[in-house]
Amino acid sequence: MITGTTSIYGIIGSPVDHSFSPLMHNAAFAELKMDARYLAFSVKPENVSQAVDGIRALNISGVNVTVPHKSS
């Protein structure tokens, strides 16, 4: 369950549906009994700047960046 105190982490890219990062990180969070969740965010290249603004505005704890944004 995600609450107001849950730390949110994620991965941004396009596509991200194939990523094992959420499965891997959420398993680790559960094992460590952390109030944290890792989510996949599909972000088109033309929306990276707005996505970064949203990440900051929503106080998301951190994100990994994958293709095609690694060079953006």
Please report whether residue 43 resides in a domain.
yes
71: pLDDT strictly greater than 70: no
State the residue range of the domain holding 16.
Answer: 7-71
Active site residue 33: no
Q: In this prediction, what percent of the chain has a pLDDT beyond 70?
A: 94
Structure tokens at 14: 């396009």
Q: What is the pTM of this model?
A: 0.90
CATH number at residue 63: 3.40.50.10860
> Catalytic one among 18, 33, 56, 70?
70
- Note the helical H segments in 1-72: 21-31, 48-57
Does residue 65 sit in helix, strand or coil? strand
How sure is the predictor about 53, in pLDDT bands with cuts at 50, 70 and 90? Answer: very high
Which residues are 64's β-sheet partners? 11
Please report whether residue 53 resides in a domain.
yes
Please report whether residue 1 resides in a domain.
no
Residue 23, Cβ density class (10 Å: 0-12 exposed, 13-18 middle, ≥19 buried) = exposed
Q: Which helix (H) or strand (E) holds 42?
A: strand 36-42
Please report whether residue 32 resides in a domain.
yes
